[in-house]
Amino acid sequence: MGNQLLEAAEQLENERNIPKQVFINAICDAILAAYKRKVPDHNVDGVHTQFDEVTGEIGIFAPKTIVEAVVNEHREIAIDEAKELLPDVELGEILEIDVTPDDFAEYGRIAAQAAKQIMTQRLREAEKDLIKQEFVGRQGTMMTGQIKRIEILNNGKPNVVVDLGRFEGHIPPREQLPGETYKVGSRIRVYVKELRESGRVPTVIVSHTNEELVKEMFELEVPEIDDGTVEIKAIAREAGYRTKIAVHSNDPDIDPVGACIGSRGARIQNVVNELRNEKIDVIRYSADPIDFISNALSPARITTVALYDDPAGKRAEVIVPDDQLSLAIGKNGQNVRLAAKLTEWKIDIRSETQIKGQPFGVGATTTVVLEPKEKDKQPVEKASEKEEKSIASPEKQDAVPENNNSEKTTEAESEIKAEVDETKDEIKEESKKKRGRKKKEETLAAEGGSKDT
């Protein structure tokens, strides 16, 4: 029995991650319980088991008092018998005596059922404790696992079970990506969300839809986020469809948007692939709510924003060109809904045609008109003053630090160049027309002079 017990304990530790000592303690407790049932209750005080780690044998021991004449054999031992064990003992001393029954093999079979019951309970408790310990260290983090099996719940929906090494994670239907087909054996990254203890064994709930999962993926893919150079300020997600993530750089030389996208989009593409081609918008964060709201509504172009401090909460009214209205709102209102969640502002969007002739900005704490091309916000009452300053001080414009967002800078330069070229063309055309008119006048004058002659 000893060797078999050791082998079973080691196998359990290797396959179920249950410590060997837990299994051995469960067997010892079961055997002790069976022994106590054979002995009167008042005679089992101090009885215990001992396990030999070398042989794997289990013995039962009881404390016995040394007496001249034995009255209770379960609690006393004669002095002559005690001296055979230890020659130097005296009356009144207490010895630990091996009381393991001679028919221990038969005795073990009698105790087998009790051992099985207690062992099952102890193993369940040990497994429960291990799951709790592992969960505490992993809660709120991303883990990579392999889909182990798919269970069909009573409502007919699938529950995806993921092997995460030390424990299993369960992805219930509401934590699964809409329309996603999960396959056994597939590798998957999940967010460790919560621990449920309603059943006999705790269940670790993991998510494939949680916003924090996207954040963890960007931390893994973008070194600048991992080392704190770039911060994720806010995130809004409609899992399976679209995510907006607002980022900020603590280093003026690092473009936060470019860092997240990566060379040729490699970094963001890794995240998109992991999320089964979910669309991801990386937004430049701004402490200025006007800029932040405008950025959050990307890719739509915004012309005017008015902010209101309503009793019900922060509210923004946004005006967009007519051809940008559907883009700003998004499919089924998704773009504006995500922007509102990202910025924590309630956003109302109207087109320029819709607002024409209607009151706008009444009661607003701030109203800002954004330049339609460069999107530089200009307070209405200070726009002309700023323009005059820019025209009067061109040398100061040259001293402005280069914009970190190379894409935006290139776009702005292209637009300016296009405007300059267009202006040159207009000037050339006007000069051509003037020369034509002058030539015509000279011709008419010459013809008139000939007639007079």
Whether residue 294 is found in the same domain as residue 358: yes
Which has more pLDDT, 12 or 229?
229
Is 75 among the domain residues?
yes
Whether residue 127 is found in the same domain as residue 7: yes
Give the confidence band of 423 by pLDDT, cuts at 50, 70, 90: very low
CATH number assigned to the domain comprising residue 175: 2.40.50.140
How high is the pLDDT of residue 57? 85
Most confident stretch, 54-68, 99-113, 153-167, 329-343: 329-343
Whether residue 273 is found in the same domain as residue 386: no
Cα–Cα distance for residue pair 85/65, rounded to 1 Å: 14
Is 408 among the domain residues?
no
CA nearest neighbour of 32 among 55, 70, 68, 60: 60
Whether residue 202 is found in the same domain as residue 224: no
Q: pLDDT per residue over 34-48, tens digit each?
A: 788 777 766 678 899
Which has more pLDDT, 18 or 332?
332
> What mean pLDDT is predicted for residues 228-235?
98
Whether residue 275 is found in the same domain as residue 290: no
Give the residue from 279, 296, 319 where a domain finishes: 279
Give the confidence band of 393 by pLDDT, cuts at 50, 70, 90: very low
Instruction: Give residue 160's domain range.
Output: 142-209
Give this prediction's pTM.
0.60
CATH number assigned to the domain comprising residue 257: 3.30.300.20
Give the confidence band of 395 by pLDDT, cuts at 50, 70, 90: very low
**Residue whose pair of structure tokens reads 């319980």 in the numeric block:** 33
> What mean pLDDT is predicted for residues 215-239?
97
How high is the pLDDT of residue 124? 79
Please provide the distance, in angstroms rounded to a whole number, between the alpha carbons at the two ends of the chain.
143
Is 430 among the domain residues?
no
Instruction: State the total domains in the chain.
Output: 4
- At 171 the three-state DSSP class reads strand
- At 281 the three-state DSSP class reads strand
Is 118 among the domain residues?
yes
